[in-house]
Amino acid sequence: MASELTSSASEAPSPASSGPVVVFDQVSIHFDVKPVLQDVSFAVEHGETRIILGPAGGGKSVLMKLANGLIKPDGGRIRIFGQDITDMPERELFKLRAHIGMVFQESALFDSLSVEDNVAYRLHEEHIPEAEAHIRVVEALKFVELEQAIQKFPSELSGGMRRRVSIARAIISRPDLILYDSPTGGLDPITSTTIIELVMKQRDVGHTTSLLITHRLQDAFTLAMNRFNPDTGKMEPIPNKGVDEKTKFLVLNDGRVVFDGTTLELVTSTDPWLRDYLS
């Protein structure tokens, strides 16, 4: 099953396979008079998982919505798959979003639709035949180990199950970029680990580029220091206390980038604020 998704993901047409997938160049945004992001610049390479850390209210979710074109910046430029989306009309953005999956903070499942209809939403919009859509929904739900909940409604699911359905909805179109907005927020540690394992599975099996916001440092370091083993179907520590080279960090504080680099650079940073935040 996982290998099916892998091959599908790699075969999906990428709008621009060369160069960074996500580029933020001096991006700023204000809400009323309050600056939320100020001169934020970073780039995410193909196949990279970028973990975004920072205190609450630091502009992480806003950054994620900017990356999907859901809101427009007041200054700076944003490029996704090499295309400048800063002033892109909504109609053009809809086409680009066919290559982007997004997992929302509170899942944002359509509460009047069943799990199957939620996961198949994009397929229905693309008028994919019902039989094919059903097969792909089952495939995506198997990936998140939730195929038994296909007929249920979101109100009948637990918080963790909703996040998993949300992940299934995001990956069903085999996107080239996945945006995870606090997928473990508000969940208990065991359920959080299950969600992180799914993110890792998508990273190591699907090799999908992703941005992930988390408030839990342990989730971030679990992702950085573990890998998914397709043979056992479980995650395992990278031997010799190694770290995943494709997993990098971006730390925001008060709307500014305070760190942009690898796991090793993060843990060896001498920045007093960063050391205090990580401790």
> What DSSP string runs through 169-231?
HHHTT--SEEEESSTTTT--HHHHHHHHHHHHHHHHHH--EEEEE-S-HHHHHHHHHEEEETT
Stretch that binds another protein, among 45-53, 62-70, 227-235, 236-244 (CB under 8 A): 62-70
User: How many Å apart are CA 134 and CA 139, to the nearest integer?
Assistant: 9
* Residue 122 near another protein by CB under 8 A: yes
* Residue 228 near another protein by CB under 8 A: no
- Site mask, another protein, residues 154-193, x = CB under 8 A? ---------------x------------------------
Locate 184 and state its tokens: 């473990």
Question: 70 or 267, CB closer to another protein?
Answer: 70
Instruction: Kindly state the smallest distance separating residue 95's Cβ from another protein, in Å.
Output: 8
* Residue 267 near another protein by CB under 8 A: no
Longest dimension (CA), the chain: 57
Exposure letters 98-127 (e unless 16+ CB within 10 A, then b):
bbbbbbbbebebeeeebbbbbbbbbbeeee
* Residue 110 near another protein by CB under 8 A: yes
**Is 204 in contact with 192 (CB distance < 8 Å)?**
no
Stretch that binds another protein, among 37-45, 96-104, 134-142, 207-215 (CB under 8 A): 96-104
* Residue 132 near another protein by CB under 8 A: no
Chain residues that interact with another protein, rule: CB under 8 A: 65, 68, 70, 90-91, 94-95, 97-98, 100, 102, 104-106, 108-111, 121-122, 125, 169
